[in-house]
Structure 1
Amino acid sequence: MNPNYRNLALWAIIAVLLIALFNLFQTPQTRGASSDVPYSQFLQDVAAGRGKTGTISG
């Protein structure tokens, strides 16, 4: 393999990794299906048996 192509391939891999890392930290995506729900709606969902887990913050 030509050394110039090997060098170009190495820089291309580095560029792709940098872009992937930038996208990972720039737009964090939520893991799983989570959403903000008003407390009153949460209580109604739990009473109806639709709530499995919840995290209260703030």
Structure 2
Amino acid sequence: MAVDDKYVMNGVWLTCDKGVTPSRFNVTPKPVQLYDEHFANELDKIALVNILPFGACS
């Protein structure tokens, strides 16, 4: 873990500049946690599993 690395935790709100509503980010549970939270890795990018719809597109 480098000093400049950034991490995304489970449950953060995502927005799309073309969507009408924000969506919660769902991290796939992993055996290792930090501060009792699950954090994303590169595999947590599956549409309709990790990233839910943002409503209708504008």
Which structure would you say has the larger Rg? Answer: 1
Query: What TM-score bracket applies, with the shorter chain setting the length?
Result: under 0.3
TM-score, normalised to structure 2's length? 0.21
Q: Answer 1 or 2: which has greater strand percent.
A: 2
Q: Answer 1 or 2: which has greater helix percent.
A: 1
TM-score, normalised to structure 1's length? 0.21
